[in-house]
Each structure stands twice: as C-alpha cells, then as structure tokens.
Structure 1
C-alpha cells in the first residue's frame, strides 16, 4: 500500500507508536532475568578463544568455573539491554518521512534493517560503558580472572585472552536485533499484536 492512501500523518504516528511499543516489549523480554541465559537463540557463550579453557577445565573437573563466567556474561547483557531503550526511542523519534514510507512499504523486517544500518555503530559505542559497568556489577571480570588463574595451573596449556566487553556487546546487539525483527513481523502479521485502534488501522491496510 502507498502511504498517501491512508494519510502520511496517521502512518507516521502509527508506525512510530508500533516501533516504540515493540522496542519496549523486546527490552522487557531480554532485560529480564534469564532473558539471554536460558534462551537458546541468543544465549551468550564464552568467546571462541576461551573454548579451550572451558575444555581444559572440564578435563580436570573444574567446568563450573567456566560455566560461572558464561552465566555472568549473560547477566551483564540482561542488565545492559534496558539501558539501550532510549537510543531506540530517540532513533524512532528522528525518523523522516522517507524513512517511515520506506519502512511501511518494505518487507516484514524493514524497521529492524533500518535500526541496524543507522544505529549499529552508535549503539555499540553507547553500550560499551554500560556493558563495562554491568560486567563489573555481576563480577564477571573477577570470575574470568579466577578461571584464567586456575587454567594456568594446568601444565602445558597455551596462553589465552579474550575481550569480554566487545564479545558481550556484539552478542547483546545480535539478540536485540533478532527479537526486534520478530516483534516487527508479528505486529505486521498478527492483529492481536496491535494494541491501539490506530495500529489496527495502519497495519490492517498493509
């Protein structure tokens, strides 16, 4: 459908409302306890460079140390996600008429693609100090240091290191965009997801 057939103002208002509501739902879902940790689609594993540490510790009956670090990485992401909401709300408010028309007439994940193209670099920058802080809050760095210390006591193992902050940022953003895409598609396809009369009118005409 072309935007003019229903009214650009209505479409703009409705689409921005839908994206705001969708963002709030996703943030509430992923920002809850176990939002990442128990979700197999977005669970954050140890960085690839630490897999050998995990295997080595498993071999000597100390896998719980690696498991503890992995849990804390997920807890850090869960704590950080709610703090990313303002960035999305600001991006939604700043959408132009061309942005809105393109998203409205585009594929089911048009808004998510827009967010990824416009926000990925900025969001990563904004999340970096947040993730740094949440990793400290959940004592992930201490757990990591303890794990590496124990690993180094195993004879003949190679040295390893990992950037936990960048790893959690990348995985948290992947999870956010994945679920924003799911939420967007559901709003377009499922009438039950449209929480206001305006949303029902806007998306009922797609």
Structure 2
C-alpha cells in the first residue's frame, strides 16, 4: 500500500510539473505569436489606450456624483476660502456651505463630458517618437504626464468657458456669491473673493487627469484591461522590454 501511495504521489508531481511547463510554453508561444509591433502599431496602440482612458474617465466623472462622491477628485472650497467655510458653519450656515460644495462638483460633472473631444484631438497629434518613448518608459503614468504637459494650456483656454457656463447652469455662481456675501458681511473678517471659475476649471482638469492615470495604470498592469488585439500586442511588447 505504501508503494502504491509513493507511485501515485510521484505521478501527481510529474503531471503538475508537466502542466506547469505546458502553461509556460503556451504563454511564450502566445507572446511570441503577437510579435514586435511596428512604429505605427506602437503609436496607434498607445493612442487607442489613451482614447479609451479619456473616454472612460470623462464618462465616470460626468455621471451624477462623478466628482461629488469620488474622494480623490471631489472639489471643496478653495484653500484661500477655507476660512469662509469654517466661519459660515460656525454661525449656522451649514446648508449654504454644503450647497457651494455640491454645486462646484455639479459644475465639474456637467463640464467633464465636454472635455472628451478636446482630449481626443490632442491624442491624435502625438508623434511616433513620443508614443514609443512613453510606451517603454518605466513610469506607470508616463502617457498621462506627457499628455498633461502638452495639453494643459489648451485645456485651460477651452475648458474655462465650459466651466463658467456650467457654474451658472447648476447655480454654483449664485451659491458662491451668497456665501461670499454672507461671509464678507460678518464683522471684522478680512474680505475674500477667489476666482471661482479658474479654481473649478483647474480642479476639474486635475480630476480628469487623475482618472486617465488610473486607466493607464490598468492597461499597463492588467492583461484583462487590454481589450483589443492591438492593445494586447503593443503592451505585451512593453512588458517584454521593461528596463
């Protein structure tokens, strides 16, 4: 009986080892079958990943509560106006302070979907050289960093009027005016009036890039996120060529 057990154990170990070898061989064959992408494929693959990422990020943030319930991107009072919020709450104006915060996030949510075509246009302008350098970079957010550097000024110019319109549409401007007026009417306070449109514009852009970075991280680290043959080929090549 002991001999039979030993034989069965040896057989099981052999089968496990053989299966493991086959799995490894299958992985190598699969990866080799993808081949090395051309410069055009690298560029197209990276742009495809960014298009998917910007679309997914914009869609998430433009949904109801997309900014408001996302702790990573939620827009609060501007730093220079935090004393406004504290003072309002100290005199029982909690609802007014809450309305300001909610309306700022609603403005960003209303504007987020409008950012998609701006990002897509910027992605299409990326060069082959830029795409290759970004793909093989050791940074998990290299594409997002590059994208932000080359588009931030343009985004500021195009996004600001969108945000301003959104602020008016969701009542943020009215709530903000009410809050600042109520604060400035309190005796002995130093009057403030930060540029609300510029602040929300920057915070909205920051939020969108945060979401894009999360999407980039997914496609770089999760095979399951590589949803097309092109993404599989390009990012498998990046995996093989990690420094």
**Contact map agreement 1:69 1:143 (CA 8 A) in 2:** yes
1:129 maps to which residue? Answer: 161
Task: Please tell me whether residue 141 in structure 1 is matched to residue 173 in structure 2.
Answer: yes
2:54 maps to which residue? Answer: 23
**Contact map agreement 2:62 2:112 (CA 8 A) in 1:** yes
Distance 2:171 2:223 in 1: 43
1:22-73 Cα shifts (integer Å, max 9, x gaps): 1111111111111111111111111122212211111111121011111111
1:70-124 Cα shifts (integer Å, max 9, x gaps): 1111111111111111111111111111111111111221110111110011111
Paired residue total: 203
RMSD in angstroms over aligned alpha carbons?
1.5
Distance 1:109 1:136 in 2: 34
- TM-score, normalised to structure 1's length? 0.93
Moved more, 170-179 or 115-124: 170-179
Task: Please tell me whether residue 120 in structure 1 is matched to residue 152 in structure 2.
Answer: yes
Task: Please tell me whether residue 162 in structure 1 is matched to residue 194 in structure 2.
Answer: yes
Computing the radius of gyration over CA atoms, which structure comes out larger, 1 or 2?
2
1:114-154 Cα shifts (integer Å, max 9, x gaps): 11110011111110100110000011111111222322343
2:16 maps to which residue? Answer: none
Distance 1:40 1:110 in 2: 23
Partner SS state of residue 114, structure 2: helix
2:208 maps to which residue? Answer: 176
Distance 2:163 2:118 in 1: 15
1:201 maps to which residue? Answer: 233
Task: Please tell me whether residue 93 in structure 1 is matched to residue 151 in structure 2.
Answer: no
1:38 maps to which residue? Answer: 69
1:60 maps to which residue? Answer: 91
**Contact map agreement 1:49 1:161 (CA 8 A) in 2:** no
Task: Please tell me whether residue 102 in structure 1 is matched to residue 133 in structure 2.
Answer: yes
**Contact map agreement 2:184 2:192 (CA 8 A) in 1:** no
**Contact map agreement 2:41 2:234 (CA 8 A) in 1:** yes
Distance 1:103 1:153 in 2: 53
Unmatched runs of 5 consecutive residues or more in structure 2: 1-34, 239-243
Partner SS state of residue 180, structure 1: helix
Runs of 4+ residues over 4 Å off in structure 1 = none
Distance 1:154 1:76 in 2: 28
- TM-score, normalised to structure 2's length? 0.79
Distance 2:123 2:191 in 1: 45
**Contact map agreement 1:47 1:162 (CA 8 A) in 2:** yes
